[in-house]
Structure 1
Amino acid sequence: MGMPLRRKVLVTGASGQDGYYLIDLLQKQGCIVHAQSRRQTHPNSHLSGTYWHVGDPTDGDFLDSLIAGVMPDEIYNLAAISRPVLSWGLPRETAEVNAFLPQQICELLLKHKPGCRFFQASSSEIFGDSADRVQNEQTPCVPKSPYGAAKLYAHRIIGAYRTQYGLHASTGILFNHESPQRPLSFVSQKIAYAAAAISLGLSHTPETDERGRPILRDGKIALGDLSVRRDFGFAGDYVEAMRLIVQHHAADDYVIGTGEDHSIEEFCNEAFNLVGRKWTDHVNVDPGLLRKVDSHYTRANAAKIRSVLNWQPKVGFRELVSIMVKAQIDSIQSNVPLSGEPDNGRRSVEC
């Protein structure tokens, strides 16, 4: 008997947070990993065994030659305009990347390798402001941004191709998932960074927010609506869920979340408590950061993935915040930005 063949896996949009953890997991499982990014390969040396392909995934010729050249056994599509607020300024690009790219991947799998297993990263933003207290796979979808609408198109089209052509194509409806690899444009990382900076005696920081202003100015961070509640999980746990979905014999759609929700105020309280400070001394609510259109409450009902695939998150909310704050303290002390912060975190295009 010969050695079993190692599975070839292609990860698109691999330069972001999820790509960091997913590639690490795939390599540990012995996969041959090919990764696509638009601008550059991932700077982390422990991902150096990956074959990187630099190019625009919405370029039809590039994508066709990529899939035809790699002939992967599995594809994980993580490419996205990754923040809902950005999608208002980039509506066409959001549609091309978040909606039509997943459909084009399905078309190319039919052309080159219909037996390839495909995972599409969907989002809890497809639900919008749900009337349901918790959201599961049957919750009605009423997205409130170009980002959510584009993600919903991709979510539905994957199911349509699965039914029409028998593709092993699945989606994971990902609720908020954070880590030290998050760009600073995300509120979770912004809070962790501010708490870390305060603990080190800083009152002004060189890192800036999405408006180009210092994240910490005069010892204070500017935030929007602190009452918004999110189901916060750890990205490392969520890529394990992706892997289980792809490895399962039947393709399907799954909600991925912790089943708990916490407000932005709670996130602030936890982060500043960790460094022995009161969050109320260091947080200002800035009306300019309040969003007219936002999902105010998300909480996952992940009963399906827990029962079918036996997945459950390992990292709780308090541990997650602690991991992020401590990583930022180390980053500031070493004067080396965390690797998950491309373009100073302001654009957050993971493709």
Structure 2
Amino acid sequence: MKTALITGITGQDGAYLAKLLLKKNYKVYGLYRRVSTPNFWRLQALDIYDRVNLISGDLSDLSSILNAFKASQPDEVYHLAAQSFVEASFESPLSTADVTGLSVTRILEAVKLFSNSTKVYFAGTSEMFGSSYTGEPLNENHPFNPMSPYAAAKLYGYWISKIYREGYGIYVASGILFNHESPLRGMEFVTRKIANEVAKINLGLEKKIHLGNINARRDWGYAPEYVEAMHSMLQLDKADDFVIATNETHSVEEFVKYAFDYIKEDYRDYLEIDKRFIRPLDVPALQGDYSKAEKTFKWKPETKFRELVNMMVKAEIDRWKRYTEGEKFAWDVPNYPNENNLLKTYRGNVK
């Protein structure tokens, strides 16, 4: 039986990855911050909370990471934890640099000190490409040009991973993942925000949806499929770097349109642009080329964009309905302000 340590196990990817590894008969340990305990809802939603071994830790503290290694004795480490919200990285650039960037070095130092045979997955991001996109799908050979503190911190993690791979012989693979969504996405991400707001409009809880730059284009895939790629990267004989994407690009406006199509409404009747949600710098468009991953370990995306949008909107509608029936912790309730007033409004609208 293999043992895996997942940092950021309470996040979207961490939860889906834990489920995948348990299915493959791994013993799974998860490193989490104490302030992340409200996010255990994802593990509960996937019915795996009681099947993973949780370790409280701090990625800013090497001794804390070493303690997690000692407790888990991992064959594989999936380093997913990060401050991963681009907008927040402009507000907290120093903590983003530490948690998202320097933590990678601490993980690799722990491997060097603990066991060079441990394989490591580093979660890169398409945001590292920044403004490099010119219409040609981006692959592993395109130049990076980060446009946010988050992207810059991730790029540090990417390069330090290469240095430890080549300098110390540590098996560390980097997944350059383009946007990947699911019903377990955090509310701070625009896709989950859209799905949630559309669900509330459908149930009579809201009248408008407020967004920033709706012209930004992204390559959006389905998260459970992307964690399969993470696992596949660590099963190769030689560590390498891989773009994971769909080779399609869609605008935020398209996401909004399809979300409202699901509830049979015209998005133009509800959408309002709010300058508060526009970033100081924003990547205009991203599109990835996953051909290397397909050739190397037979990975390719299956879920189509519109199918993903429908799935997320349906999940939000179902959550709100379950909430009215008393399932208070069906999802990340702390992200829903004035929930009691909304509940009263919903009940008033039910016929």
TM-score > 0.5 by shorter chain:
yes
Change (3 A) 1:80 1:279: same
Q: 1:142-161 alignment to 2 at 5 Å?
A: 142-161=145-164
Secondary structure at the aligned position of 1:80 is classed as coil
Rounded Cα–Cα distance in structure 2 between residues aligned with 1:176 and 1:248:
24
Change (3 A) 1:244 1:339: farther
Rounded Cα–Cα distance in structure 1 between residues aligned with 2:331 and 2:153:
24
After superposition, the C-alpha distances for 1:150-175 in whole angstroms (9 at most, x for unaligned) are 00000011011111111110010111
* 1:49 aligned to which of 30, 48, 51: 51
Give the total of aligned pairs.
326
Q: How big is the shift at 1:95?
A: 1.1
Q: How big is the shift at 1:194?
A: 1.4
* 2:297 aligned to which of 299, 309, 324: 309
Structure 2 residues without counterparts, runs of 5 or longer = 338-351
* 1:184 aligned to which of 179, 184, 187: 187
Q: How big is the shift at 1:345?
A: 8.1
Secondary structure at the aligned position of 2:272 is classed as strand
After superposition, the C-alpha distances for 1:261-290 in whole angstroms (9 at most, x for unaligned) are 000110011000001100101110112222
Greater share of residues in helix? 2
2:208 alignment partner in structure 1: 220
Rounded Cα–Cα distance in structure 1 between residues aligned with 2:173 and 2:18:
19
1:344 alignment partner in structure 2: 335
1:28 alignment partner in structure 2: 23
RMSD: 1.6
Q: 1:225-240 alignment to 2 at 5 Å?
A: 225-240=213-228
Counting aligned pairs with the same residue, the percent is: 38
Structure 1 residues without counterparts, runs of 5 or longer = 1-5, 204-218, 347-351
Secondary structure at the aligned position of 2:162 is classed as helix
Q: 1:94-113 alignment to 2 at 5 Å?
A: 94-113=96-115
Q: 1:1-351 alignment to 2 at 5 Å?
A: 6-39=1-34, 40=37, 42-43=40-41, 44-45=43-44, 46-47=47-48, 48-133=50-135, 134-203=137-206, 219-335=207-323, 336=327, 341=332, 343-344=334-335
Q: How big is the shift at 1:292?
A: 2.5
Change (3 A) 1:315 1:248: same
The answer to whether the 8 A contact 2:259-2:309 is kept is yes
The answer to whether the 8 A contact 2:322-2:330 is kept is no
Partner AA of 1:13 in structure 2: G
Secondary structure at the aligned position of 2:312 is classed as helix
Partner AA of 2:76 in structure 1: E
TM value normalised by structure 2: 0.90
Rounded Cα–Cα distance in structure 1 between residues aligned with 2:75 and 2:93:
32
Rounded Cα–Cα distance in structure 2 between residues aligned with 1:10 and 1:192:
31
TM value normalised by structure 1: 0.90
The answer to whether the 8 A contact 1:181-1:339 is kept is no
